Structure 1
Amino acid sequence: MAVGGHSDTTLDEPTQVLEFTVGDERYCVVLDSVAEIIDRQLSRSLPDAPPHVVGVMDYRGVTTTLVDTARLLGVGSNPEASRVIVFDTGKEEDDVYGWLVDEVYRVTDLDPRDVDDSPFGDERTRGIVRTDDGLVVWVDPPTES
């Protein structure tokens, strides 16, 4: 089954995803893309940064870009969110970044039959997941901050 916007991605078996909230909305990302979940750290702002970049923080000795996930996903702005999902692209040391989120909800197995194609036509949105307690937007983290 092709998943919204990613016709080259086929899901034949359950995939583990991490669910989180940004404001009142629930999202998920593939768990394999997550390095760690941490409490928000002290950060420094960056001059001339894109609007969705809050600043940088130290994560295990690596300067890590901190992203206002609400702004990145187009659902407002919450630069004061308290949790950080850390992603590491694995390419280079500077390819580590953190998404600010309000709450990390759970890790769950995603059944491909529960995924509907994304109605947004947005490259970051893989689909909408139907769960027992509502809808979850499945997003891809960017390959760079």
Structure 2
Amino acid sequence: MTAEAAAMVQEAVTQESQQVLTFTLGAESYGVDILRVQEIRGWTSVTRIPQAPEHVLGVLNLRGSIVPIIDLRRRFGIGEAAFTPLTVIIVLLVELPGGRREFGLVVDGVSDVVDITATNMKPPPEIGGRVDGAFLKGLATVSDAMVILLDVDTLISKEVALVAVEEQEH
């Protein structure tokens, strides 16, 4: 292969790769696009919102911005979170129909930042499970382990719609 051809192949691979922040929930590894991550914070208590869904823990004031905090364990039906020194809040920038907004996701712990390429990513299986398939971008193999890649825009859009419906019912 010529140097020019090798450079073209490398460029194609680079364009298809994506950096992902991986984290744990229970025994599973999940990932989100690193470009969406605004901040990773240690667990701190939040201000509860009356009549919010159980998995919406409340809000945090981050530098003057009110950020809703969602417990992914509760949202995915994994069970109650045990808040440990490893528990963190991942603050993400999410694209919603009304514009961009920050949301926080409570997870058991952050693992690593990894490169995901098209070759090690597969579409999500259509077999039910704890996590709604609409929330998934796909599955990736990283160091012989599976990472469930989340579509945070879809996940949070459904959260916003769910809260709006519940507010109308009250």
TM bucket normalised to smaller: 0.7 to 0.9
Residues 34 and 85, structure 1, Cα contact 8 Å, conserved in 2: yes
Structure 1 segments unaligned to the other structure (5+ residues): 1-10
Return the offset for 1:39: 1.0
Q: 1:127 is matched with which residue: 138, 156, 167? A: 138
Deviations 1:57-100 (A, max 9, x none): 111221111101112233233273620100123735xx221000
> Matched residues in 2 for 1:79 and 1:55: separation?
17
> Which residue matches 2:119?
113
- Of Structure 1 and Structure 2, the greater strand share is in 1
Bigger share in helix: 2
CA contact (8 A) 1:127 1:137 kept: yes
**Map of 1:50 onto structure 2:** 53
| Residue 89 (str. 1) matches residue 97 (str. 2) | no
Give the number of equivalent residue pairs. 133
The TM-score with structure 1 as length reference comes to 0.81
Structure showing greater Rg? 2
Alignment root-mean-square deviation, CA: 2.2
SS in 2 for 1:75: coil
Q: Does the residue aligned with 1:123 lie in a helix, a strand or coil?
A: helix
Partner amino acid, structure 2, of 1:115: M
Q: Which stretch of structure 1 is more off in the superposition, 69-78 or 121-130?
A: 69-78
TM-score normalised by length of structure 2: 0.70
Deviation at 1:137, TM superposition (A): 0.5
Q: For 1:16-40, what per-residue CA distance to the aligned partner results, in whole angstroms no more than 9, with x for missing partners?
A: 1100011111000111111111112
With over 3 angstroms needed to count, the CA separation of the structure-2 counterparts of 1:120 and 1:59, relative to structure 1, is: farther
Structure 2: give runs of 5+ residues left out of the alignment: 1-13, 128-132, 160-170
The amino acid of 1:119's aligned partner reads P
User: Percent identical across equivalent pairs?
Assistant: 29
